[in-house]
Amino acid sequence: MNIKLNAPVSAAIAIGVGIVVLAGYFIPSINNIRFIFLRTGLVLAAVALLVGIINLLSVHFKKMGAETENSGYSLILVITLILTLIIGTIDMVQTYLVGQPNFQMSNWIFKNIQLPIETSLLAVTAVSLTYAAASILRKRMDLFSITFFFVILLVLLGSFSIPPATLPLLHVVRDWIVRVPALGGARGLLLGIALGTITTGIRILMGTDRPYGG
Amino acid sequence: MSATGFTGIVVIVLFFGLIIFFSIINKEPEQKNIRPIPAYDKIIQEINIAVEDGTQLHISLGRGGITGPESASALAGLSILKQVIEKSSVCDFPPIASTGNAVISILAQDTILGTSKAISVADQGRNPSGELVGVTPFSYAAGTLSTIRDDKVSANIHTGWFGSEVTWITTAGERQSTPTIAGTAQLPAQAIIYASASDPLIGEELYAGGAYLGAGKIHLASISAQDIFRWIIIVVILGGVILNFLGIDSLVESILAGSM
C-alpha cells in the first residue's frame, strides 16, 4: 500500500507555524517563538533566492537554445550574471583578506551600470504611464473610465507650478480631489484588500489553500 | 492585551466562524448569488479559447514574497494559478507561470507539480513551467515581456504584487492584441492596471479568484463572510459619523480607552 505522507505533514507544519505566528501578535508570552519562526523563514527565503538564481539561469539557458528572437537577451543575461557573480566573489575574498568591507568592484557595477539603466527604465515608465492614461477611453468608453480620465486631467493641470500655467481654481479643485474622493476611495479599497487578506490567511490556516507540498 | 490586539482576535475568530458557518449551510459547491466579475468570466473564456486554438495562457505572479504585506496577493495569485492549470489541463500547451520572487517561484513550481499530479498530466514535458524571470522590479518586467510577446500566448493573467512597472507588462499585452487580466493589492499599481489592462480586478476582487473559478465551498463561504464584515464596517463608519455629528464621539472613545 502506497501512503503519501508528505502532503499532510507539510500541511500540518505550515498550519501549526502559521497559528503560532498569528497568536504571537496577540499573546505577548509566545512572541519569542514567533520571532524564531520568522527569523527561520527569512533564512529560508534567502536560501530560496539561491535556488531562484539557479532557476533563472536554467530558464535562460533553455531560451538561448531555442533560437528565438529573444535568445540574444538571454545570452547577455547569463554572461552578466556570471560576471557579476565572479566579481562579487573576488570582492568577498578581498574583504576577507583585508579584514574590512571592500566592495569596490561591486559598487562600481551598481553605480555605473545598474543605477543608470534602472533610472532610464523609470523614465520610460513615465512615458508608458502617460500612454496608458491616454488610451483608457479607447479601451472602455464607460462612465468610470471617462471619470478616471478627466480626474487625471484635472489633477495634472492643478499640479502645474510654472506661473503661466498656474490656475488657482484648479489648485483648489486638485487639493479637494486628493483630500476627499481620492482619499476616501483609497481607504475603501484598502478595507476591501484587508478583508481579502484576512480570508486568504484564514483559508491557508484552514488548509484549504495549500501552495506547498502538492 | 491592547484594544487593537483584542479587536484583532475577535475579527479573526468571527471570520473563521462565519466561513465554517457558510460552508455548512451552502450545500452546493457551485457559485450562486455572487455578483459577476467580468475579469473572471474572461479567464474562463480565454481558457476555452486556448483549448480550441491550441494556444497557451501566461500567468505572472508579481514580485511579492511571503514575509511582508504583499504575501496575501502573491498567495491569491497562486490560488488562481492552481485553478487555471486544472481547467486548462486539456490544452495542447500548458500555461506558463512567471514571477519576480524566488520563494513564490518555488511555491509556483510546487503548485504546478501538485496540480499536474492531481489532474494526472502524465507527460512531464507537458507540465506547465514556473519561471523566475528577474529579481528587481524592472528586470522582472523586462523578463516577462519576452513571454508576453510569444506568439503561442493567447492571454495574460497578472495577479500578485506589482509596482508601477506593471504598466510595461500590461501595455505589452495590448500591443500584442492579447487580453490582459490584471489585479494587485498596491494602490498606485491598481490605478495603472485600471487604465492599461483590458480586464482589471479592483480591490478585493483579486482575492476572490478561487470562488469564481470553482475552487470549492470554502472559497464561496469566505466571500459571504467578507460581505458580512463589509456591512459591519459600513455600520461602524456610519455610527461614527452620527456620533461625531452628535458630538459624543470623544465620550465613546474615552469609555473604550478606559475599559481596555
Reported as half-sphere exposure (CB side, CA atoms, 13 A), residue B172 has a value of 22
pLDDT at A1 over 50: no
Q: What pTM was estimated for this model as a whole?
A: 0.87
Residues B254 and B133 in one domain: no
For position A56, what pLDDT does the model report? 85
Q: What would the mean pLDDT of B232-250 be, rounded to a whole number?
A: 87
Is A100 a residue whose pLDDT tops 60? yes
Query: Over chain B, what is the mean pLDDT?
Result: 86
- pLDDT surpasses 60 at B128: no
**CA B159 to chain CA centroid, nearest Å:** 5
Kindly state whether residues B228 and B204 are assigned to the same domain: no
Give the closest residue to B82 by CA, choosing from B61, B67, B55: B61
Q: Do B251 and B179 share a domain, yes or no? A: no
Which CATH number is B116's domain given? 3.40.50
The answer to whether residues B69 and B124 belong to one domain is yes
Say what the pLDDT of residue B258 is.
58
**Are residues B133 and B237 located together in one domain of the fold?**
no
Assess whether B183 and B248 both reside in one domain.
no
Claim to verify: residue B201 and residue B248 sit in the same structural domain = no
Counting residues of chain B whose pLDDT is more than 70, the rounded percentage is: 91
Provide the 10 A C-beta neighbour count for residue A86: 11
Asked, for residue B2, whether it belongs to a domain, the answer is no
Domain membership flag for residue B29: no
User: Is A6 or A130 the better-scoring residue by pLDDT?
Assistant: A130
Give the span between the Cα atoms of B112 and B93, in whole angstroms: 14
Q: State the pLDDT at residue A212.
A: 74
Confirm whether B7 is domain-assigned.
Answer: no
Range of the domain at B194: 34-215
Q: Which domain holds residue A177?
A: 135-197
- Which pLDDT value is given to residue A2? 47
C-alpha cell at A107: 559598487
Q: Do A214 and B106 touch (CB under 8 A)?
A: no
Question: Could A191 and B149 be called an inter-chain contact, meaning their C-beta atoms sit closer than 8 Å?
Answer: no
pLDDT tens, residue by residue, A112-132: 998 898 889 888 888 888 888
Please, is A138 exposed, middle or buried when counting C-beta atoms within 10 Å of its C-beta (0-12, 13-18, 19+)?
Answer: exposed
How long a stretch of residues is chain A? Answer: 214
**B11 at interface of A, judged by CB pairs closer than 8 A:** yes
Structural domain contains residue A116: no
With respect to residue B1, please indicate whether it lies within any of the assigned structural domains. Answer: no
Say if the Cβ atoms of B9 and A26 lie within 8 Å: yes
* pLDDT band, residue A98 (cuts 50/70/90): confident
How many Å lie between the alpha carbon of B166 and the closest alpha carbon of chain A? 9
Count: domains in chain B: 2
**Is residue B39's pLDDT more than 70?**
yes
Q: How far apart are CA A126 and CA B93, in angstroms?
A: 35
A150 Cβ contact list (under 8 Å, min separation 6): none
B53 in contact with chain A, both atoms CB, cutoff 8 A: no
- Which of these three, A65, A82, A105, is where a domain ends? A65
| Domain contains B11 | no
B26 is a domain residue: no
Name the 3-class secondary structure at B61. Answer: strand
What is the Cα–Cα distance from A187 to A194, expressed in whole angstroms?
10
Domain membership flag for residue A213: no
Residue A80 pLDDT exceeds 70 = yes
Closest CA to B81 of A55, A49, A211: A211
B234 inside 8 A of chain A by CB: no
Q: Does residue B36 register a pLDDT over 50?
A: yes
Establish if A35 belongs to a structural domain: yes
Is residue B32's pLDDT more than 70?
no
Does residue B142 belong to any structural domain of this protein? Answer: yes
Query: What digits encode the pLDDT tens for the residues B65-88?
Result: 888 888 899 999 999 999 998 888
**pLDDT (tens digit per residue) in B139-185:** 899 889 888 988 889 999 999 999 988 999 998 988 888 999 999 99
Given a cut of 80, whether residue B259 has pLDDT beyond it is: no
Write the DSSP symbol of residue A164: G
